[in-house]
Amino acid sequence: MIEAQPRQRKIIHVDMDAFYASVAQLDDPSLVGKAIAVGGSGRRGVISAASYEARKFGVRSAMAGSLAIKLCPHLIFVKTDFERYKEISDRVRKIFFEYTDLVEPLSLDEAYLDVTENKKGNPSASLIALEIRQKIKERTGLNASAGISINKFIAKVASDINKPNGQKTVPPEEVIPFLEVLDIKKFYGVGKVMKEKMYRHGIYTGLDLKGKSIEFLSENFGKSGAYYYNIVRGIHNSEVKPSRTRKSLAAERTFSENIASEIFMLEKLAPISEEVERRLKKSKVAGKTVTLKIKYSDFTLQTRSKTLPLYISDKNLIMETVTELLFQEGMKNSVRLLGISMSNLNNEKKQTLKVSEEKKYEVQLKLDF
C-alpha cells in the first residue's frame, strides 16, 4: 500500500580529503607520501592542515607549529596558497552544479548538496556521490569523500566514516539504528566541552541520548537540548541553502613582533587594504562600512567601524577611513594583529537563486537511495 509520508530528502555531504595538504602534494610531487603541514612554520604559526602521513604522528589542524614539530620532527612545512585552493574549489563546485543548484558550501572544501530532484534524473544519491567523486578526481587530481542520507546532519557524520577516498550511505531504514550506536562525540556540534558534559550525564551513544527526555535535555543543554532530542530521532529539517550572500569581506595579519607605533601600524595596514581591494574586485562588490580590527598582545580585541555615504572598493579610500579609525583615542600599546573588513556590501540584491517551496507531503514510493 502506498501511504503519504513526510517528503524524504536525499542529501550528500562532499568533503575533500586533507584538502590544503593534498593540494600541496599535487603541486609538488616530491611531497607525496611525506608528513607535511600547511601553514604554521613561523614563531606564532598555527597549522591549517596536515597530510595523512603527518596525522599519524598526531599533527592536527589548529595546532601550534612548535608542538607539531615536536610530535613529528621530520615534518615539512608548506605555505598556504588560497588562490590555488579557491581555483580548485571553484572547479569542484562546477561539478556539483551539474547535478543540482541546491549546493551549500561550508568552506572551500566541503558542501551539502540536495539531490532529491537532480538535473540528471538519477534516483540514487549514492551513485551520484560516486560520480561526483570520480569527476573531482579526474578534473582536479584530488580525492574526496562523501556521506549520503536523509538530512544534512547524518550526511555530514557519514562522510567521515570511510574517509579518505570513500563514501557511506545511511538509507532511511538504517537512520535510527545508525544514530543509536553512534558515539556521542561524532555528533555534529559536539565538541570537547559538550562531549565532557554529555559524558557527565552518562550519555556516550545515540541510544543514551535517546533515553533522555526533552525536558532533561533542555534543562541541561539549553537551546541545543531540542536539537539533540530531534537529531537522534533522525529529525533535522534544515534545508540546503544555496548561494549564501557574502555579508562581509576581510583580510588581516598577525605580526611576529608586537607593534606599538601607529605609524608602523599604518605601514602594516597598507598591504592589508590592498588585499581587501583585491578581494572586493574579485567578487565584483564594494562596501559602505569599513571596520578596523585590532588585537592587542593581551588578546583583547577592539573593532572600530565607520559607514560611508558611498560604496567603495579602492584601497586608497579604504586606507583613508582606516587611518581615521586608527587615530581615534583608546589605543593600547602592543598590537599583535590588525585586520580590515568591509561590510554593507552592494550585493544584497544579487541573490537570484530561490529554493522552490518544499511540498510538505507527497506520495512516497520506496526508491533507491
Active site residues: 110
Q: Is 53 in the site for Mg ion (CB under 5 A)?
A: no
**Which residue, 152 or 295, has its beta carbon nearer to Mg ion?**
152
List CB contacts of 154: < 8 A, sequence separation 6 or more.
11, 147, 170, 175, 178, 179, 234, 236
Contact 170, 151 (CB under 8 A): no
Which grid cell sits at 172? 532511511
Closest CA to 289 of 361, 229, 216, 342: 342
In the complex, minimum distance from the CB of residue 161 to Mg ion, in angstroms, rounded to a whole number = 14
In the complex, minimum distance from the CB of residue 15 to Mg ion, in angstroms, rounded to a whole number = 4
Which grid cell sits at 171? 538509507
Letters for 253-292 (x = contact with Mg ion by CB under 5 A, - = none) are: ----------------------------------------
In the complex, minimum distance from the CB of residue 188 to Mg ion, in angstroms, rounded to a whole number = 14
Residue 288, burial from CB neighbour count under 10 angstroms (0-12, 13-18, 19+): middle
In the range 112-151, which residues lie near Mg ion by CB under 5 A? Answer: none
**Which residue, 14 or 259, has its beta carbon nearer to Mg ion?**
14
Letters for 65-104 (x = contact with Mg ion by CB under 5 A, - = none) are: ----------------------------------------
Element (H, E) at 51: none
In the complex, minimum distance from the CB of residue 163 to Mg ion, in angstroms, rounded to a whole number = 8
In the range 6-25, which residues lie near Mg ion by CB under 5 A? Answer: 15-16, 19
In the range 210-249, which residues lie near Mg ion by CB under 5 A? Answer: none
Region near Mg ion per CB under 5 A, out of 22-30, 105-113, 165-173, 353-361: 105-113
- DSSP at 327: T
Q: Identify the bridge partners of residue 369 per DSSP, sorted by sequence position.
A: none
Which grid cell sits at 234? 533522525
Binding test (CB under 5 A) with Mg ion, winner from 53, 104, 109, 114:
109
**Which residue, 15 or 114, has its beta carbon nearer to Mg ion?**
15
**Which residue, 148 or 319, has its beta carbon nearer to Mg ion?**
148
Region near Mg ion per CB under 5 A, out of 108-116, 135-143, 237-245, 278-286: 108-116
**Which residue, 108 or 340, has its beta carbon nearer to Mg ion?**
108
In the complex, minimum distance from the CB of residue 88 to Mg ion, in angstroms, rounded to a whole number = 12
# residues contacting Mg ion (CB under 5 A): 4
In the complex, minimum distance from the CB of residue 109 to Mg ion, in angstroms, rounded to a whole number = 4
In the complex, minimum distance from the CB of residue 16 to Mg ion, in angstroms, rounded to a whole number = 5
**Which residue, 16 or 72, has its beta carbon nearer to Mg ion?**
16
**Which residue, 15 or 277, has its beta carbon nearer to Mg ion?**
15
Q: Count other Cβ atoms within 10 Å, centred on residue 161.
A: 16
- Exposure string for 113-128, b = 16+ CB within 10 A, e = fewer: bbbbebeeeeebbbbb
Alpha carbon distance 218, 206 (integer Å): 17
Q: How far is CA 211 from CA 107, 181, 222, 235, 309, in A?
A: 34, 13, 17, 16, 56
3-state SS track over 205-273: EHHHHHCCCHHHHHHHHCCHHHHHHHHCCCCCCCCCCCCCCCCEEEEEEEEEEEECCHHHHHHHHHHHH
List contacts with Mg ion (CB under 5 A): 15-16, 19, 109
